[in-house]
Amino acid sequence: MYLSDDEKRLLDGAEGFVRQRCMAYLVELATVSGAERMVDLDGTTDFHVPTTALVPEYLFPIEELRKIVDEGAVFKAPTFANKAPFYGATFVDGWEGCAYPPHNDPAHHAKAMQPDWMELYVRMGLITTYSCASYLASSYWPSVGQHCAWNESSAVPYCNAVLGGRSNIDGSFASSFLAKAPYSGMHVPENRLATVVIDTERLIQTDVEWDVLGFAVGEECGLDVPALIHTAKPTTTQYQKFNTAANTGGSIAMYHVPGATPEAPTLEWALGGKKPAREVRFDEAHLKKTYEKLNDHRGDTVEMVSLGCPHYNLVDLMLLSRKLKGKKVKVPVWIMTVPALYHTAEQLGYKKIFEDAGAVLLSGTCPAAIAGVPGGIRALAVDAAKQAYYISGLFPEADDHLDVFYGTQDDCVDAALTGVWRGEWR
């Protein structure tokens, strides 16, 4: 593997212990992935705070971090926080009303926010977006062609496909601190070209259609880069949904919507002038089957509703506030958003509308990240393929079953107001 003189110095330990561990981590990652060199990041990064490394071998204690922060160390890349501090991943805002012990306990909340670590990270320049959708709240989006290291699977296609940045799922303390990543995967221009063309019998235009299409494309394409043809032009919400579902059904870091995403003015451009390896057309039966796979319930009684996976943007919150204004929900309703947007939603009056309806606005996490739902809940309705898929995996025991209902935001609102599921693939 080629390493520059500066990279060799870091690896040799000439720049101190923490930088040595970070460089060693990146070299090991590059070796496993087959990369032949590093790329210097000129874009943004995110990682799961406060973990200094997701690979145990490279963890280092807070004392080592404090030492370098006191010496003036900063993150070399603009760095964002992926969700609330791990591994508790508690709610950042709104926790007082969540009715989910211990998350509504002030002492638990204070501790779970990991203040010792976070004080140091903020001094290093960490921007505490605390969200799977940091891109909704960060003012420093990568521009087309910038190299990034994002760690949130649902956000990485937003970086690559929607913004034209270049990232694998490789955000870490090391990549943020040194602003480096192995030159592999989506950092390499030719790997970003589409090899599979996806067409659909129905015109994909609603939020749930984009979500279900995302899951189906993930299952079909695995690690390949698809080009989606004959769809309507996606909204921001629909990009979010497609990305999140595609990285649940499969591992889609990059895709193209010719005429909409920045690296594909045309289908030919998306394919790099080559013939696709395969062309696939999803018929109605295929999408219906995908939708039904995401629904796994024995009855039609809904005991709780969770909305916002990935975290809702402001338009999602605005539309939901219209649907809940003046209404009363029959079951607990959690609405997940980005901490920065929580406060905007409060100023705009949405939070009050939700509270008056009996719903709770929360930020920074989700049931899957917290790894559960309040005790006694046996039937959960969600409006996201990703949440449906992960929350069901947390309840594998036959005697501890969780019914999972998946559908549109409207279906979930109806279930919240009636306690009954009436959603179906329409």
Partner 1 sequence: MSETIRIKGRAEWPGKVTAEALVSPIPIEGFANVDDVHGYITERYHPLFKIPYEGKILVFPSPRGSGGFMKFGTGKIPAAYVHRRGNTLSDACIMCARVPAMTDFETDPLSVIETGDTVFVNADEGYIEITKKEK
Among 227, 317, 368, 385, binds partner 1 (CB under 8 A): 368
Among 75, 210, 312, 389, binds partner 1 (CB under 8 A): 389
Position 6 contacts partner 1 (CB under 8 A): no
Among 57, 63, 71, 190, binds partner 1 (CB under 8 A): 57
CB 256 within 8 A of CB 226: yes
Among 247, 261, 313, 365, binds partner 1 (CB under 8 A): 247
Residues 406-425, mask of contacts with partner 1 (x by CB under 8 A): --------------------
Please work out, in degrees rounded to the nearest 5, the angle formed at the alpha carbon of residue 281 by the alpha carbons of 275 and 282: 150
Under 8 Å CB-to-CB from 135, ≥6 apart: which residues? 141, 155, 158, 159, 163
Position 222 contacts partner 1 (CB under 8 A): yes
Return d(Cα 222, Cα 252) in angstroms, integer.
7
Under 8 Å CB-to-CB from 188, ≥6 apart: which residues? none
| Residue 12 CB, nearest approach to partner 1 (Å) | 21
Among 249, 276, 308, 419, binds partner 1 (CB under 8 A): 249
Options 72-80, 138-146, 165-173, 320-328: segment touching partner 1 (CB under 8 A): 165-173
Q: Which residue has the tokens 């009996």?
A: 358
Largest CA distance in the chain: 66
Position 51 contacts partner 1 (CB under 8 A): no
Position 392 contacts partner 1 (CB under 8 A): yes
Q: Which is nearer to partner 1, 182 or 258 (CB)?
A: 182
Among 61, 326, 376, 396, binds partner 1 (CB under 8 A): 396
Among 52, 129, 153, 313, binds partner 1 (CB under 8 A): 153
| Residue 201 CB, nearest approach to partner 1 (Å) | 24
Position 130 contacts partner 1 (CB under 8 A): no
Please work out, in degrees rounded to the nearest 5, the angle formed at the alpha carbon of residue 203 by the alpha carbons of 200 and 207: 105
Q: Which is nearer to partner 1, 249 or 364 (CB)?
A: 249
Position 152 contacts partner 1 (CB under 8 A): yes
First-last CA distance in the chain: 53
Return d(Cα 312, Cα 296) in angstroms, integer.
24
Q: Which two tokens stand for residue 304?
A: 């709780």
Strand residues in 118-167 grouped as ranges (E): none
Return d(Cα 254, Cα 191) in angstroms, integer.
9
Return d(Cα 334, Cα 374) in angstroms, integer.
11
CB 79 within 8 A of CB 181: no
Residues that bind partner 1 (CB under 8 A): 28-29, 32-34, 48, 54-57, 151-154, 168-170, 184-185, 218, 222-223, 247-251, 253, 293, 296, 368, 371, 389-394, 396
